[in-house]
A and B are shown apart, each in its own frame.
Chain A
Amino acid sequence: GESVGLHLPTLSVQEGDNSIINCAYSNSASDYFIWYKQESGKGPQFIIDIRSNMDKRQGQRVTVLLNKTVKHLSLQIAATQPGDSAVYFCAFAIGAGGSYIPTFGRGTSLIVHP
């Protein structure tokens, strides 16, 4: 199975810096990947997604990179702001017959210092 339930690593950055958050997955059958942001006491909020037929996708201040060869996903946040402080989770689609069952990765706590 995928790695879940482990304690969260922390990434500390200065305001204005770029942040890179990484995620590894183990199931090569995964073909849909999503990044979520979770603030304390709230549910996850969708940031950006990418499908397995793509290597890179850009949004507003965020970029997701997918390396299927090494089963690695990353989220890049440009010009990080204090409001970006949160826990970031990657999730991936695993399922039979095309069913989408979001399974979450370990997560990373991002702390942005003003």
Chain B
Amino acid sequence: GAVVSQHPSRVICKSGTSVKIECRSLDFQATTMFWYRQFPKQSLMLMATSNEGSKATYEQGVEKDKFLINHASLTLSTLTVTSAHPEDSSFYICSASLGVNTEAFFGQGTRLTVV
């Protein structure tokens, strides 16, 4: 199957700083990527849909100024958590789809801890 690489896998940052998470499709071009957040023992919650060359579409309740998404190329989308606070600590996961109504491939996830 297609490979999606997410980096870093773990990051610890100080409160008030910003953190960038990268999501790359390694062997295919992804016009659309998705960003999820997952709390312990809970399901994945869609945060936003990232479209190459255009603004991301955020789900209701997700602050777009807090979670900046950039999809500058067909193989890279980034999520920047700005002015991070301890409540932003979570597992962030990206995915990319090969096309309409096809399976999405997921990255390994990024464990963010804000101290």
Contacts and interface: CB of A to CB of B under 8 A. Distances in A.
Nearest to B94: A43
A32 B100 CA distance: 10
Contacts of A99: 32, 100
B93 A98 contact: no
A99 B99 CA distance: 8
Nearest to A98: B100
**Interface residues of chain A: helix, strand, loop or mixed (majority):** loop
A43 B106 contact: yes
Contacts of A4: 43-45
Interface centre among B44, B49, B91 (most CB of A within 10 A): B44
Interface residues of A, number: 31
Contacts of A36: 106
Q: Which 7 A-B pairs have the closest CB atoms?
A: A43-B106, A104-B44, A43-B109, A4-B43, A98-B100, A44-B106, A104-B43
23 contacts: A5-B43, A7-B42, A8-B42, A36-B106, A42-B108, A43-B4, A43-B107, A44-B106, A46-B104, A51-B101, A89-B44, A99-B32, A100-B101, A100-B104, A101-B34, A101-B46, A102-B46, A102-B95, A102-B97, A104-B43, A104-B44, A105-B43, A106-B43
